[in-house]
């Protein structure tokens, strides 16, 4: 009788262990996907943090390049970067006009060098815009006034108006102003003598 009880106890214990083991297995199975999902979410979040906007990268590369240039030239200036209109912008805040040059010639050259530095680093062409000492901002306002004067003249006389030669940045400002006024404009000539022609409405 004692041996039978002992056997029953062993069988009951084994049965209880089997049930407990099965329950634990089900619990692990239930928790497994959730834990895996959480881990995946963490990894995905880490990946998002590691993926920097390409335009931000362009601005950072150009800023580093220009900061070295300022150090070499022993010139003071704070560098700001931001993204606007689908392109990277870098601005050197300074009162010194040395890096602007006559009619922005030095500025344009530095912009091209900055774009080359970005392309060398990233392997992609850059449309980065560089401004120094607020030159482009001032020029933008001047060109908007010029464009509005040309628009008024075209509407009054009904004839095309040809403006002075401009660089691509300046021509785009005029084209945008003309389009906003409901007129049409086109570029003619060859660089560096390429100019905007404002046409009367058809």
Q: What confidence tens digit (pLDDT) does each residue in 62-81 have?
A: 999 999 999 999 999 999 99
pLDDT band at 50 (very low <50, low <70, confident <90, very high): low
| pLDDT for the residue 1 | 44
Contact criterion met (CB below 8 Å) for 66 and 129: no
| pLDDT for the residue 159 | 95
Residue 180 has pLDDT above 90, yes or no: yes
Residue 8 has pLDDT above 90, yes or no: no
Residue 192 has pLDDT above 90, yes or no: no
């Amino acid at each position: 009788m004692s041996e039978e009880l002992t056997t029953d106890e062993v069988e009951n214990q084994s049965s209880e262990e089997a049930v407990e083991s099965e329950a634990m297995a089900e619990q692990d199975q239930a928790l497994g996907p959730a834990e895996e999902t959480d881990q995946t979410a963490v990894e995905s979040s880490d990946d998002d943090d590691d993926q920097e906007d390409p335009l931000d990268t362009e601005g950072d590369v150009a800023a580093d390049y220009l900061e070295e240039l300022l150090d070499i030239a022993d010139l003071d200036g704070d560098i700001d970067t931001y993204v606007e209109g689908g392109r990277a912008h870098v601005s050197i805040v300074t009162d010194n006009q040395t890096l602007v040059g006559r009619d922005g010639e030095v500025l344009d050259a530095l912009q091209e060098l900055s774009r080359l530095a970005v392309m060398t680093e990233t392997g992609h062409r850059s449309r980065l815009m560089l401004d120094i000492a607020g030159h482009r901002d001032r020029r933008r306002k001047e060109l908007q006034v010029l464009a509005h004067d040309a628009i008024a003249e075209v509407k009054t006389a009904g004839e095309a108006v040809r403006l002075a030669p401009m660089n691509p940045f300046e021509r785009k400002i005029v084209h945008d102003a003309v389009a906003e006024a409901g007129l049409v404009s086109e570029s003619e000539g060859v660089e560096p003598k390429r100019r905007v022609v404002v046409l009367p409405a058809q």
